[in-house]
Amino acid sequence: MMMDGRVALVTGAAGDLGEAAAVRLAADGASVAVCDLPARTDALAAVVEACRSANPAASVTMATFDVTDPRSVEEALALVIDQIGVPDAVYNNAGYQGLFANTVDYDVEDFRRVQDINVTGVFVVLRACANALLAIGRPGAIVNAASMAALGGPPNMVAYAASKAAVLGLTKTAAADLAPNRIRVNAVSPAFIGPGMMWDRQVELQAATPSQYYGDDFETVAAQMIDQVPLRRYGTANEVASVVRFLLSDDASYLTGVNIEIAGGAS
C-alpha cells in the first residue's frame, strides 16, 4: 500500500477534514496518531475506531494537546514516538475559522486568536515534527492546511484569510529551509468543502452578517457559494484527503513548497 511503513500524525483529527485524512492514511498502510484538543477526546476515540475499521492491521493512537503550546506539543509528540515511531507524514490541519464580521468591526482579540491557532500552531507543530526527523536523520513530508481564503479574499473573514495567507508564506520558507534535510513541506487550499460543520457554519454566518455579496438565509447563501465554483458543487472531505495523502506519499517526492488548490476551479 502507498503508505506502508510510514508514521502519520494528523492534527485537528476530530474535525471532518482531519478524520477523512487519518482514515485514508490508515487505509493505505500508515501507522497513525490522531490529535486534537483534550476536550475532543471522545471524538478522537471515534476517529481511532474509524481508522482501525479501515485497516485492522494499522497501528493507531491518539494524543491531545493545544497546538499553540510548544511544551504540550513536545510532550505529546514524545508519547507518539514511544508508541508508533517518529512521524514522517504530518498533516498540520488544526485550525479555527474565527468570527464573521466586516473588517472595521472585527474583534481584535478574536483576530489574535485566529493567528495564534492557524499560524503559530502550524509553526509549532511543524518545528517539533521536523526536529524529531532531524534527530534521527530521516526524510519526511509535512502538509500544512491553508485555504482558498488566502487567495480569494472572502468577505467578513479578514482574520481567517490573513492567517491562511501567512501559512502559505510559512510553507514556502520552511520548504526551502528543510529541503537539504529531505523534508518536504507543502500546503493544500480547499475552498467550499461539505457537508459538515465548517460548511454549515460558514453558510450560516455569512447569511447572518450583512454584506452586498451574500443573501440573508442559508439556502440562498449556499447557492451563491456553489455558483462561484465552475464544477457547480462543493468538494468532499475525502477529496481533500486524497490530495493530502498524495503530497505525503513518495508519489510527490519531487514536490516541495507547493500549494495545491482544491477548489473545483474556483479562484
Query: Residue holding cell 530521516?
Result: 138
Q: What are the C-alpha distances in Å from 133 to residues 65, 150, 213?
A: 20, 29, 46
The one-letter amino acid at 149: A
Query: Residue holding cell 510532550?
Result: 75
The contacts of residue 131 (CB under 8 Å, 6+ apart) are: none
CA-wise closest residue to 63 among 86, 49, 83 = 83
Give the helix/strand (H/E) hosting 89: strand 89-92
Annotated active-site residue in 160, 213, 214, 234: 160
Query: What does the alpha-carbon distance between residue 233 and residue 202 come to, in Å, rounded to a whole number?
Result: 15
Grid cell for residue 119? 499560524
Burial 39-49 (b: 16+ CB within 10 A, else e): ebeebbeebbe
Query: What does the alpha-carbon distance between residue 80 and residue 236 come to, in Å, rounded to a whole number?
Result: 29
Active site residue 213: no
Q: Which residues have a catalytic role annotated?
A: 160
